[in-house]
């Protein structure tokens, strides 16, 4: 699903503006650390804009252009999952995916130079009725990708901002 550029710009602008340039810059320029990823989101009414970033090895199990059929299959499966799965949800599962833009093409043999460290980035827009009343959100990322051991989460809602670090697939993101 293709998402219009203004939504991604708005999410990035809001995260940068509201969290403050120091925090947002630290997250976007974080070192390439295997086992770690970042999840940033902005909630406005029922819309949630998300930016997720992780070293490719956490999701694919490798950091080079896919050469074998098995590696190409892994790239395809990861791309399909990131394209079809909301990266956040309410405990009752009310979020639906409006748009998802995973950047995984470079591992399928396009625009990637072997030997470089690189991250996979995903931008999503969700429709999540009831998000304003939800005291917590969930993410399937740690359960889906065991190589992702720690997820730094930052958010902005109409009532404030916050952050946490998730290390257990069963943990939820407490917004209050």
CA angle 33, 53, 122 (to 5 degrees): 155
Confidence of residue 1 (pLDDT cuts 50, 70, 90): very low
Question: Judging by DSSP bridges, how do beta strands 36-44 and 96-103 pair with one another?
Answer: unpaired
171 contact partners, CB below 8 Å, separation of at least 6: 142
What's the mean pLDDT in 145-156? 95
Please, what is the average pLDDT of the chain?
A: 80
Q: Count Cβ atoms below 10 Å from residue 48 Cβ, excluding itself.
A: 26
CB 99 within 8 A of CB 1: yes
The whole model's pTM is what?
Answer: 0.79
Where do the DSSP E strands lie in the chain?
A: 36-44, 47-55, 96-103, 119-127, 136-137, 150-157, 160-166, 173-174
- The mean-pLDDT minimum among 21-25, 40-44, 94-98, 150-154 falls in 21-25
Domains in the chain: boundaries: 5-21+36-121+133-174
What's the mean pLDDT in 7-33? 47
What's the mean pLDDT in 72-79? 92
Instruction: State residue 10's pLDDT score.
Output: 47
What's the mean pLDDT in 9-13? 45
């Amino acid at each position: 699903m293709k998402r219009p550029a203004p939504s991604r710009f708005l999410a990035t602008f809001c995260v940068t503006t509201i969290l403050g340039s120091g925090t947002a810059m630290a997250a976007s320029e974080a070192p390439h650390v295997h086992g770690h990823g970042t999840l940033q989101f902005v909630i406005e009414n029922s819309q949630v804009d998300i930016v997720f970033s992780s070293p490719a090895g956490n999701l694919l199990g490798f950091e080079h252009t896919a050469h074998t059929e098995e590696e190409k299959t892994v790239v395809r499966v990861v791309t399909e999952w990131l394209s079809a799965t909301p990266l956040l949800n309410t405990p009752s599962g009310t979020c639906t995916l409006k748009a998802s833009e995973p950047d995984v093409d470079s591992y399928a043999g396009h625009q990637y130079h072997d030997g470089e460290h690189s991250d996979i980035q995903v931008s999503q827009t969700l429709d999540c009725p009831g998000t304003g009343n939800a005291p917590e959100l969930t993410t399937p990322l740690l359960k889906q990708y065991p190589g992702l051991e720690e997820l730094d989460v930052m958010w902005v809602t109409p009532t404030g901002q916050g952050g946490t670090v998730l290390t257990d697939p069963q943990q939820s993101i407490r917004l209050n």
